[in-house]
Structure 1
Amino acid sequence: MNARTNRDLYDTPPGEADGGVGAFIRSWLPAPPARVLEIGSGDGGLALALAGEGWRVTAVDPRAPEGEPFVRGAVEDLDPSEHGPFDAAVAVLSLHHLHDLGVALEKIHSLLEPGAVFIVDEFSKEELEDEATAAYSFYQRLALLYGGYSPVTHSAGAVYEGESFECWRSRLGRSWEHIDEGRKILSALEARFEGREFASGPFLFRDGLDPLLEPLERKLIEAGRIRPIGFRWVGAARG
């Protein structure tokens, strides 16, 4: 597997809210009308965008919107006779939520054509064990809060008025107890797919901060001052 530089897989235009995720995914997808499986579609924005551009998308999520191209449920429950085989699979910040990562990845592999690409955007919660990285996240959030930004309540890392660094860090650790570490996700992927590309890079700016902070986070990572939280991985289904 190639370990490409952060700039290869993290080529983010300044101020882009999704951190360049859409561009990253499109750069690896086979051309439309390839069949694409999205695992963890969330509000469906990516699935609808790809479908609108000609890809044949099936997007599975326990809370998926109704109607095409969505399937409400768990990827483990997809019936191969009804869904697939797919030419590509995409998972954006969803693998860490899976109840049984190994079982889910085996099912994803079974739904893919041999050689089909699997495109993953994730984060490593364990990197926030580094105090400098955690402090950067906390104090940037605190500055935005006191600058008039409302906290992003759907973010586990949201900071609330009067909360200390120690209390925030403890609360964040508890809220993330149930999700998988990045190293576990990578190990599970490499055990089941042929790894092709990997890079780590900025993530905190996407998690309740501001897209304009991406260059600062990137600069501190490249200088070795804070840890890269995000990672992107591309692999292929073995034949």
Structure 2
Amino acid sequence: MDMTTAAVPHSLAHLTPLLPAPPARILEAGCGRGALAAALAELGYRVTGVDRDAEVAAAAGARGVPVIHADVLDVSGEHDVVLFTRSLHHAEDLDGVLAHAASLLAPDGRVVVEEFAWERVDRAAADFLYDNRALLVAAGLLDADAPSGDLLDDWVTGHDSLHTGSAVLAALDRVGSDPTTAATPVLWRLLNGRGGAWTEQVTAVPGVLDAVRRAEERRIAAGTLPAVGFVASVRR
């Protein structure tokens, strides 16, 4: 199921304050199926996607996004922005990837990141995530397994092989200057979990996700949930 109708506007709202004005040249590393890249192009940006997965790179191309099927480490050229959207936490060589990204920037270019800091999830955040997931499963909107034990332990076990958000931010600081960071809600994006699948009730799910996102935002503002997501940028 394509959930970009819910996810892309949220990403744009948080990323565009960090981007130069159109028609800046953006390389989106790990562009997936190209939904965000296509939306940025509609705003007037000159966007190129890159993804090492042939299937999703082809899907991005079918969306009209100029796309390179490659690892970002094999990409050359000059760009005003290198953008990573929830892909850096998987990087095998975090410093190497970011150093290469910085080498692709034009003068005063920016590396921009949208990520989540899985280590910020506390018991309240784990309860919020898994309780909402259970409601979606009970409502027949989501097919996903229940946690096998303690909710917070289950979260940590499922994510401790990924780079932490603090590691991503520290690596970003090492390749640029003038850092800018803003917190974002992200638990609502993670409700399907690892291996979960949305059911065929496609019309209901975006509205449900939007309601969960707004609930997360209210709790972050009230101080009862941590802000697990973030956007960040540094200049060359």
Same fold, judged at TM 0.5 (above): yes
Instruction: Map residues 54-203 of structure 1 onto 2, 5 A cutoff.
Output: 54-63=44-53, 64-66=56-58, 67=61, 69-78=66-75, 80=76, 83=77, 85-128=78-121, 130-151=122-143, 159-160=144-145, 163-166=147-150, 169-203=152-186
Gaps of 5+ in 2: 193-208
Q: Distance in 2 between matches of 1:126 and 1:184?
A: 10
Task: Tell me the residue number matched to 1:207.
Answer: 190
- Corresponding residue pairs, total: 209
Q: What is the identity, as a one-letter code, of the residue corresponding to 1:106?
A: A
Summarize deviations over 1:13-70 as a string: whole Å, max 9, x none: xx94346212333333333332111111011112223334432222111114234511
Q: What is the identity, as a one-letter code, of the residue corresponding to 1:121?
A: E
Flag the 1:207–1:86 CA change in 2: closer, same or farther, 3 A. Answer: same
> Which piece of structure 1 moves more, 104-113 or 193-202?
193-202
Q: Which has the larger share of helix?
A: 2
Q: Distance in 2 between matches of 1:71 and 1:222?
A: 40
Q: Distance in 1 between matches of 2:40 and 2:218?
A: 31
Q: What is the identity, as a one-letter code, of the residue corresponding to 1:144?
A: L
Flag the 1:19–1:195 CA change in 2: closer, same or farther, 3 A. Answer: farther
Residue 47 of structure 1 contacts residue 69 of structure 1 at CA under 8 Å; is this kept in 2? no
Q: Distance in 2 between matches of 1:52 and 1:142?
A: 36
Task: Tell me the residue number matched to 1:228.
Answer: 227
Q: Distance in 1 between matches of 2:142 and 2:6?
A: 20
Q: What is the identity, as a one-letter code, of the residue corresponding to 2:142?
A: S
Q: Distance in 1 between matches of 2:9 and 2:156?
A: 24
Residue 19 of structure 1 contacts residue 211 of structure 1 at CA under 8 Å; is this kept in 2? no
Q: What is the identity, as a one-letter code, of the residue corresponding to 1:133?
A: A
> Percent identity over the alignment?
32
Flag the 1:198–1:53 CA change in 2: closer, same or farther, 3 A. Answer: closer
Q: Distance in 1 between matches of 2:51 and 2:224?
A: 37
SS of 2:227 mapped into structure 1 = coil
Task: Tell me the residue number matched to 2:203.
Answer: none
Q: Distance in 1 between matches of 2:129 and 2:149?
A: 10
Instruction: Answer 1 or 2: higher relative contact order, Cα 8 Å, separation at least 6.
Output: 1
Q: Distance in 2 between matches of 1:139 and 1:19?
A: 25
Q: What is the identity, as a one-letter code, of the residue corresponding to 2:183?
A: S
Flag the 1:196–1:170 CA change in 2: closer, same or farther, 3 A. Answer: closer
Length-normalised TM-score, structure 2: 0.79
Flag the 1:171–1:131 CA change in 2: closer, same or farther, 3 A. Answer: closer
Length-normalised TM-score, structure 1: 0.78
Gaps of 5+ in 1: 1-14, 152-158
SS of 1:126 mapped into structure 2 = helix
Q: What is the identity, as a one-letter code, of the residue corresponding to 1:234?
A: S
